[in-house]
Structure 1
């Protein structure tokens, strides 16, 4: 470890042994967001000090662990918290000199974020995450940039509230990949077309 950062082994020890987070779930991302880790598996002195100071938590691991546990319990129901952790994940997941992450990595982090203790991207009749991944696997050959990453969450929030996707329109400001996803869902029969669209056909 350098004087100004913790490398992978020390970071893992701190997160798992001191904060008691599960590295296989979104618990890890919650803790790393609080500590403002610059990358997955690395904690910087600057981010650590400023992150915990901003959280208003005393500089001891007992209080830090208690705070992280409180956040984890809120993650699936607190939209603002989930959005903060979600947006942070993109920054930590990408290489410092890159503007996007690979689709393979995006799948890994979507799976992690949209699973307990995170917010599940499902509605009464649809597993939206599964549909989204199926569509991208079949139709998408590019990487995932920040705008696509962030707008996927905005679409996720809306699709969980309205599984008919009536909020979507061709004239909206969604990225083209989401426009194409909605059309794919409807044209493939996975999601019913609105009555107006059916009558026009």
Structure 2
């Protein structure tokens, strides 16, 4: 999307507002902090959004706080105080009856404020459980299997989970998301939601074979959920990442090849 770098500040502000549905003032603030680079501002917007708490810090009784602290203590890494790490996370998943490779774990991590896969800090864990009114593993399991899953029907909630997944899946210190991680996350999030998902994954594995940028990850959801999509009317001059435009060309070529093969088969 090289046109972004050549556009004026007003154009960049409007573009960011369109992407994020934020105010002009907020868009300009993000751009200023990102040296007027739209992609960096977009990253900053979603990184800040992913760490925002759904409500003000809850008031809780000392007994609730103590109960949550005790939950954390059960899973805390004895060699890394203040953190639940991989072993404790696996034990927590077992007690919750969930598979750490499935969507439930992504939802749990989002609500408990995990910044890195398989790790939870004490402060964020306790504050999240207080906000969720979950002072026992049983209550946390109920919220996970009922509230969180039901919330996926809400478009805005789903987008928050989707955007969080990019941050969650990245390796520490990496800007982009490894292709294999992106593929697994897309399977978790978009299976049953996007009927061309298998073609998208095949295209990436055959033609791209590189890490996925934040820009591509974010805008692919808009691409995949647009109503009445038609490959013949796709606007290649629009604000789509180049990789998505290349995918549309791949679909066109695949469709043409299928028609040609069908004609050849019928003629014989």
Same fold judged by TM-score > 0.5? yes
Question: How many correspondences in the alignment?
Answer: 180
CA contact (8 A) 1:30 1:71 kept: no
TM superposition score normalised by structure 2:
0.60
2:175 corresponds to 1:121: no
* Aligned residue among 241, 244, 255 for 1:178: 244
2:101 corresponds to 1:24: yes
TM superposition score normalised by structure 1:
0.79
Q: Which residue of 1 aligns with 2:223?
A: 155
Residues 167, 15 of structure 1: alpha-carbon distance in 2 compared, 3 angstrom cutoff:
farther
Partner SS, residue 225 of structure 2: helix
Q: How does 1:102-121 map to 2 (within 5 A)?
A: 102-115=178-191, 120-121=192-193
Counterpart Cα distance in 2 of 1:165 and 1:121: 18
Which of 1 and 2 has greater Rg?
Answer: 2
Counterpart Cα distance in 2 of 1:50 and 1:94: 24
**What are the ranges of 5 or more consecutive residues in structure 2 without an aligned counterpart?**
1-76, 259-268
Question: 1 or 2, which has the higher helix percentage?
Answer: 2
Q: How does 1:1-201 map to 2 (within 5 A)?
A: 1=77, 2-17=80-95, 19-53=96-130, 55-74=131-150, 77-115=153-191, 120-122=192-194, 127-158=195-226, 161-165=227-231, 168-189=234-255
Counterpart Cα distance in 2 of 1:162 and 1:44: 43
Residues 35, 185 of structure 1: alpha-carbon distance in 2 compared, 3 angstrom cutoff:
same
Counterpart Cα distance in 1 of 2:218 and 2:176: 12
RMSD: 2.4
CA contact (8 A) 1:15 1:31 kept: no
Counterpart Cα distance in 2 of 1:79 and 1:90: 17
